Amino acid sequence: MATIRKRGAKWQVQIRRVGVRAISRSFHVRKDAEAWARQMEVQADRRDLPSDPKALQGVTLGQLVERYRDNVSVRKPGYEIERIVLNAFIRHRICRKSLSEIEASDFATYRDERLRGVG
């Protein structure tokens, strides 16, 4: 449930869920605060809230792929082949970017380069 409280001349809404970062916002009118709180609670219940951009700045795509390779891929039957493919992907420059900097065009560029190199 959201917490709505009066702070000076504004109404502040805070929404907290386990496993999801807390979000808050201030409004001049209480009804606006209540409507926003309902909307955000629905999104929080669906795990549909926007991610924390600060958390994405500290992690590169390469770190994420390495974590996948070391923790998930190891348990798969085709691990050896997948490890080779993932190691080649990790060496690509896209894996040096932080998750907050990556755009769809970066993946399109990687795809196009990969298609030129692989038949």
User: What pLDDT, in 10s, does the model give residues 86-102?
Assistant: 999 999 999 999 888 88
Q: How confident is the model at residue 65 (pLDDT cuts 50, 70, 90)?
A: very high
* Angle between the N-to-C axes of helices 61-71 and 79-90, in degrees from 0 to 180, rounded to the nearest 10: 170
> For 23-32, what is the mean pLDDT?
92
SS3 16: strand
Q: Which residue has the higher pLDDT, 74 or 52?
A: 74
Q: What separation in angstroms does the CA of 14 have from each of 23, 27, 82? A: 6, 12, 44
Q: How many CB atoms lie within 10 A of CB 10?
A: 14
Read off the pTM: 0.56
- The pLDDT score that the predictor gives to residue 101 is 86
d(CA 65, CA 56): 14
- Alpha carbon 91 to its chain centroid, in Å, reads 22
d(CA 26, CA 37): 11
Q: What is the mean pLDDT of the chain?
A: 87
Q: Nearest to residue 30, comparing CAs of 12, 8, 16?
A: 12
Q: Is 118 left (phi over 0), alpha (psi -120 to 50) or beta?
A: beta
User: What pLDDT, in 10s, does the model give residues 11-24?
Assistant: 999 988 776 678 88
Q: Nearest to residue 95, comparing CAs of 49, 59, 54, 41?
A: 59
Low-confidence winner among 48-57, 69-78, 86-95 (lowest mean pLDDT): 48-57
Map out the domains of the chain as residue ranges. 3-50, 56-117
